[in-house]
Structures are given as C-alpha cells and as structure tokens.
Amino acid sequence: MKPSSPISLATSSLARKTRLSPYLFTLLAFILFVSVLYGEDFMCIFGQLEPNFVLQPSRTPEKNKKTEKLAFAIGKTEERCDVFSGKWVRDEISRPQYEEWECPYIQPQLTCQEHGRPDKDYQFWRWQPNQCDLATFNATLMLETLRGKRMMYVGDSLNRGMFVSMVCLLHRLIPEDQKSMKTNGSLTVFTAKEYNATIEFYWAPFLLESNSDDAIVHRISDRVVRKGSINKHGRHWKGVDIIIFNTYLWWMTGLKMNILQGSFDDKEKNIVEVSTEDAYRMGMKSMLRWVKNNMDRKKTRVFFTSMSPTHAKGIDWGGEPGENCYNQTTLIEDPSYWGSDSRKSIMKVIGEVFRRSKTPITFLNITQMSNYRKDAHTSIYKKQWSPLTAEQRENPTSYADCVHWCLPGLQDTWNELLFAKLFYP
C-alpha cells in the first residue's frame, strides 16, 4: 500500500477541521448566549464561593495609599497578606487575653461563665491569617495612641459588644481610681483619666434616625428609618479621632424596609416601602457623606465593620432541623461555609458603594471568620430579661441567643483586626 504524501495528509486534516467548524461555531455561539443571559447569575455563584472577593476594592483607594499616609499608621501589612482570610488555631497559652470575672464592664447579656456555661473552649481560639501573622495586640501602644483623643463605636448591640471588648483589653493598665464608665441615653463613655482619653459607644442601629433609637426600649417590629437624617445622631460623633461604624441586623426585617420621607413629627407621615438593599444603600451613602463632611482624613481614621453572622439554622452547617447555636462547642471547618442569614446582596451593596467613594474608610471584614464560630454565641448563658416559661425551659433551643457573642471571645479578635488595620494598614 502506497503511503500518503505530506500534502495529502495536510489536505485531509484541513478537510476534517472544515467539517468540524460548524459544530465549533454553534458551541461558541451557545456559550456566548448563555454568558450574556446568565452572566449576573454566574457572578453571584462566584461571589458565594469567594465572599471576600467583591469587597477587596473597598479598601482605601490605591491613589490614597500612594499619596497619603493614613493617620496613626506606624507600619504596613504585606501586600500579599489578607488578614481576613485564614483559619482558627487552638491556643491555650495566649488566649483568653483577660478573664470574664476581672472585667467589670461586660454586660450581663455577655457573661456566659457567670450564667452557667459549662465549658470554656470558645475562649481558646486565635485567628491565623493564611499568608502572614496578625499583629499582636499591644494594649500599651493602644492607650498611648489614644492619649488626649476620642475613640467611638457607633451602631447596634454587636458594636457595643466590640466596644466592651476593647475596654476589657485595655482597662488593666489603668489604675482603679483613674477610670470610669458612664451612660447617658444613647452614649456610653469609658474614661481613662490619666490618658485624657475616652472610648465610647453610641447607640444608632441604623446610623440614621429611626423609631428604634431608644437605647433601652427599642424592640419595635414595624421599623421605620428616616431618609437623610444622619445628622440627628452625627452631631454626637463630631470631634472623634477614631470611629468604628456597624449596621446590618436591624435592616433585616424582611425583603422590604419602611423609609420615612419627612419628619417623625409630621401628623401625616409619608412612608414608602423600598427593597432592603436600596434602603441599606441609602444608609451607606449617608454614612460616607457624613464622614466626608466631618472627618479630617489627615488626622482621623474611619472603620466599617461588616455583618456579624448568626447561627440560628443548624441545617446550614449540616445539623438537624430545628437545631441552632445551643450546645454547640465545635467550630465549622468548611472554609467555604457561609450562613444563610448573612445576605450576600448586602455585601454586594457595601462593595458597590465603597468602590465608588473617594472617602478613605477601612473595611473590617469579620463576616467569614465569624461564620465558622457557631460555638461562640451567648446561647442560653446570659441574663434573661423576662422569666422563662415552662415550655422554654423544656426546650432551650427556643430561647437561645444566636446573635450575640460571649466575652472574652470572638469579638476580642475583631479588635485585634482593628488594631492591625489601625497601625499596619
């Protein structure tokens, strides 16, 4: 048999490619069609796999990094280091950083040991970033930096827990007669007299004016937020040197939110219903405008803390139906775990608004790391403001608090991240 010549082989190969080209064209056309039609859905799926990714641009804009030194910075975190991406490491040597009994400022809603929690395992975990080490919290440096200054946490009870955590991390260095804690309405102030410094918390769960602004009586099911009203609270924040905002949980009343256009004093109130995402976007834009108009970017620092996750649905992590954070003593080990109560649509809003803003603001992305900590909630081990019913006593899951966190515990790590970003942005 006569072997084929190179020319005939090339011709045959070209013919086969020509015959296949209609199939290739059809396949490519189909892929292009699907990409256009479902492109946004694909982005959402990828966003679920990497919840931190969409928020990377929300860090201080690159041009600000190059032209300005951020206030209070004494160093810089390595470029390759994302301190919010990592894992929890058991550490019985350096954790906890203080004992519950030695910090008298912890509210009874967060003193889990005092209220009967039988284990302390939740106290012995240290956050370890994947590509680097987290800067060690230095209480002396923090206090010296705050000398003659004001530091304020603004938001809901979760930010109040972070505020108390910071006080607990620092108060041992201050003589007993040189420190005090006082509350007046929405404002709680811890004073370190020797340092002429204050660490403060201001209750404003929406940041804007709302019908839930009473610091004590605020359990209102039909929540209303007043548009363009941030100065109602913001006047109390002026003159602060370091401010840490949070707001999320109170917006989660469903898929819609009531927005007041006008005043709460109006006899006939003009209330419109908008999507939760649009309402939250309004709140974020108002916050950034206030920061731009009131904070000196050369002398002050602004932080925003992402959503604190809940663990109210055991099926999210493979538990039984009806199970929640009650009696949970282990961590979630799946690195991609994302609880259903942490709305990705809200994370997307934060990313969009921060990316478009030229206002320097440091984003503390505590959501993913906290998602792993179903063990760290106060659960049933807290002061109960109302007597428990017989039914509740028989079923502890029914009244377990899967929102707030025991102290010492997880929120101390939030402040370690704040420390790292304040001094080593």
Residues identified as active-site: 157, 401, 404
Interacting residues of 149 by C-beta distance below 8 A, sequence separation 6+: 197, 241, 242
**How many whole angstroms separate alpha carbon 279 and alpha carbon 284?**
9
Residue 385 in tokens: 């403001």
Largest CA distance in the chain: 107
Instruction: Say if strands 86-90 and 125-129 run parallel, antiparallel, or are unpaired.
Output: antiparallel
DSSP per-residue codes, 196-260: TEEEEEEE-TTSS-BTT--SSS---SS-EEETT-THHHHTTTTT-SEEEE---GGG-SSSEEEEE
Give the integer Cα–Cα distance in Å for 205 and 223: 11
Residue 420: closest CA among 125, 54, 84: 84
Instruction: Find tokens 């941030």 and name the residue.
Output: 230
- In angstroms, the Cα distances linking 97 to 100, 123, 361 are 10, 9, 28
Residue 300: CB atoms within 10 Å: 20
Q: How far apart are CA 98 and CA 407, in angstroms?
A: 9
Here the tokens at position 46 are 């990828």
Half-sphere exposure of 152 (CA within 13 A, CB side): 23
